[in-house]
Structure 1
Amino acid sequence: MGIINFGSLNIDRVYKVSHFVRPGETISSESYKCFPGGKGLNQSIAISRAGAKVTHAGTIGADGGFLKELLKQSGVDTRYVRESENVTGHALIQVSEEGENCIILYKGSNYENDVNFIDYVLAGFNSEDILVLQNEINNLEYLLQCGKQKGMRILLNASPVDERLKNMDLTGVTWLMVNETEGLEITGENKPERIAAQLLDKYPAMNVILTLGTDGCVYQNKENRIYQSCFPAETVDTTAAGDTFTGYFIASVLTGKSMEEALEIASCAAAMAVSREGAAVSIPIYAEVEKKLMDWHEIKH
């Protein structure tokens, strides 16, 4: 049993600004830094740092070799990371003084995953494995169909939401990870309980994980509803919060943790990530999360 993450590999160019640039406005950034990123890469690193085995599949350009190297150094199996002649996908990220972020994505080589490559990758996996997906690569619908046909358990982080994703058949998705904004886009509902209810009406076998920022998160399926509060953190950069949560959550599920434990571990890891700069580089290792959780439980008791 293992995890295959078919996901994006990006270069993040981060600009610290006093406020997000407005239409017609030109501002100077206070600083510039370049980081490895992409929801796929971030989640694979989070899964590995959480202690689970993960294989990453995706496409980089000639400028993206350091992304593959970082995955390797983080313990991720990179045999299915290939190189194309296109430029690597990248993101222009504004980070405000409050630590909030505003992102422009360029698809680049992330949109060069053809069906033959997908078939080649998934041939090495079966119904015992978990397929992790996000919406930053092409052929997502084909990946969902293939995963469903193979009987794989699928985790879909429905980000970013677009018209293409809204029209996809998600019946094969085991765990759907959305935040409030994405939930509103998909369902038209703005209350957490209504977002989950509408998704479960349409997909009764699904498990919905709704992240609510500083209000914590909710896990819901047809039988259970579990609420997990947010861990306190001094916010520096929220870029990798959701990816850290996703990676730690699915790693915890794979390694046999209860749903309550998985949500608590993922929430703690995400809180640690927002207190650090950058995306992939901000993701904590499991020993750090374990210590923070132990300290937290001691304080509570």
Structure 2
Amino acid sequence: MKVLNFGSLNVDYVYSVDHIIVGGETQLSEKMEAFCGGKGLNQSVALARAGIEVYHAGITGNDGGMLIDACKENKIHTSYLKKLPVKGGHTIIQVDKHAQNSIILYGGTNQMLTVEFIDSVLNDFKPGDYLVLQNEVNLLDYIIDAAYEKNMKIILNPAPYNDNINKCDLKKIDILILNEIEGYQCTGEKEPEKIIDELNKKYPDTEIILTLGVEGAIYSNGKERIFQSAFQTDAQDTTAAGDTFTGYFLAAIIRGYCKEDAMRIAAKASSIAVSRAGAIPSIPHFYEVINLL
């Protein structure tokens, strides 16, 4: 069994501000830091630091050296990474004094996948292998269809939610992990229980995890529901919280933990991540999480 993450790689430019800027406003940033990020890379790092061997597939630009180095430093396989001589994906992130963030995403090379490249990568994977996906790369619908035909186990975090998700057959997803905002965008419901109810109706064969920030998270497979409360922490930066949760939940399942324990481990890992600055630098290692549980 192998784990493939077909996902984004971004350089995150993080600006510390007093409050999230509004239209027409100019504000002095207290500091600016550059981090490796992208939902895809964040989730690969979370998987790797949780002890899972992971292969990352994607495209970087001429500014992607630090991203490839980050993969190697975290023992993520880089044989499916391609580099193009153009501007790569990046984000501009505001983080306010309450640790809330606002993100502008430029797709860059993350939006330059081709059918030929996707096929060449998936050819090396077999039925039962895991495929981790987010919505920061193009041709997401094609990747899902191709992986489904190979009987791979597909895990999707549909963020950021946009029309590309509507092109995808979510009935082919094995595990769908999303937050309240994405849940509303997907179902039109705002209350967590109603979001879960609607998702279970629409995708009866899909396991659903709805993350609720400080309110915790809910797992449902249509037959049982598991509520996991959030661990209290001194929040510094919530940027990689959801990606850490996603990576750690899947890692715990692969390592043989039951759903209840996997939810607890993922919640603890996420709480550690929000107590630290940055995306990748904030993601804990497995021993840290277990020692604190």
1:58-77 alpha-carbon deviations (Å, 9 max, x no partner): 00011111111111110111
Give the distance between the partners of 1:137 and 1:167, measured in 2 at CA.
Answer: 13
Structure 1 stretches of at least 4 aligned residues deviating more than 3 Å after TM superposition = none
In the alignment, structure 1 segments of 5+ residues that lack a partner are 294-301
Q: How many residues align?
A: 293
How far apart, in 2, do the equivalents of 1:151 and 1:171 lie? 13
* Paired position in structure 2 for 1:176: 176
Give the drift of 1:2. Answer: 1.6
3-state SS of 2:51 partner? coil
- The alpha-carbon deviation at position 88 of structure 1 amounts to 1.1
| Equivalent residue, structure 2, for 1:34 | 34
Q: Where do residues 183-262 of structure 1 align in structure 2 (5 Å cutoff)?
A: 183-262=183-262
Structure 1 partner of 2:74: 74
- How many angstroms does 1:167 deviate by? 4.0
Post-superposition shift, 1:171?
A: 1.2
Q: In 1, Cα distance between the equivalents of 2:130 and 2:230?
A: 26
2:9, 2:41 within 8 Å by CA — same for their partners in 1? yes
Deviations 1:142-194, CA, capped at 9 Å, x for gaps = 01101111111100001000022134211110000010011001110001111
Amino acid of the structure 1 residue aligned with 2:46: A
Residue of structure 2 equivalent to 1:270: 270
Q: Secondary structure of 1:57's partner? A: strand
Q: Shift of residue 254 of structure 1? A: 1.1
Aligned pairs for 1:154-173 within 5 A: 154-173=154-173
Percent of paired sites with the same residue: 47
For the residues of structure 1 that align with 2:98 and 2:37, how far apart are their CA atoms?
Answer: 21
Q: 2:84 aligns to what?
A: 84
Hey, what's the Cα distance between the residues in 2 that align with 1:222 and 1:211?
17
Secondary structure at 1:171 match in 2: helix
Deviates further, 166-175 or 103-112? 166-175
Distance 1:108 1:85 in 2: 11
In the TM superposition, 1:117-128 aligns within 5 A as 117-128=117-128
Q: CA deviation at 1:245?
A: 0.4
User: Does residue 15 in structure 1 map to residue 15 in structure 2?
Assistant: yes
Q: Distance in 2 between the 1:194 and 1:3 partners?
A: 32
Q: CA deviation at 1:239?
A: 0.1
Q: Which residue of 2 aligns with 1:47?
A: 47
Alpha-carbon shift at residue 126 of structure 1 (Å)? 1.0
**Aligned AA (2:48):** S
Q: Distance in 2 between matches of 1:47 and 1:187?
A: 29
The alignment's C-alpha RMSD in Å is 0.7
CA–CA separation in structure 2 for the residues paired with 1:164 and 1:12: 23
**2:179–2:210 CA contact under 8 A, matched in 1:** yes
Question: CA deviation digits over 1:211-258, x for unaligned, max 9?
Answer: 000110000012110011101110000000000000001111111110
Asked if the contact 1:56/1:80 (under 8 Å) is kept, the reply is: yes
8 Å CA contact 2:91, 2:105 repeated in 1? yes
Structure 1 residue 86, shift from structure 2 partner: 1.8
Q: Supply the distance in 2 between the matched residues of 1:130 and 1:235 (Cα, whole angstroms).
A: 31
Q: What is the TM-score with the length of structure 1 in the denominator? A: 0.96
Aligned to 2:93: 93
Partner of 1:291: 291
Compute the displacement of 1:134 (Å).
Answer: 0.1
How far did residue 202 of structure 1 move? 1.2
TM-score, structure 2 as length reference: 0.99
User: Deviation string for 1:44-101 (max 9, x for gaps)?
Assistant: 0000000111100000011111111111110111110110122110000000000000
Q: Would the aligned equivalents of 1:91 and 1:105 in 2 still touch at CA under 8 Å?
A: yes
What amino acid maps onto 1:172 in structure 2?
K
The aligned counterpart of 1:137 is: 137
Distance in 2, matches of 1:145 and 1:193, equals 29
Give the equivalent residue in structure 2 for 1:296. none
Whole-angstrom distance in 1 between the partners of 2:190 and 2:171: 22
**Unaligned segments of structure 2, at least 5 residues:** none
Secondary structure in 2 matching 1:210: strand
For residues 10-29 of structure 1, the C-alpha deviation after alignment (integer angstroms, 9 at most, x for no partner) is: 00000001111111111111
Q: Which amino acid is the alignment partner of residue 200 of structure 2?
A: L
Q: What is the rounded CA distance, in whole Å, between the counterparts of 2:252 and 2:264 in structure 1?
A: 10
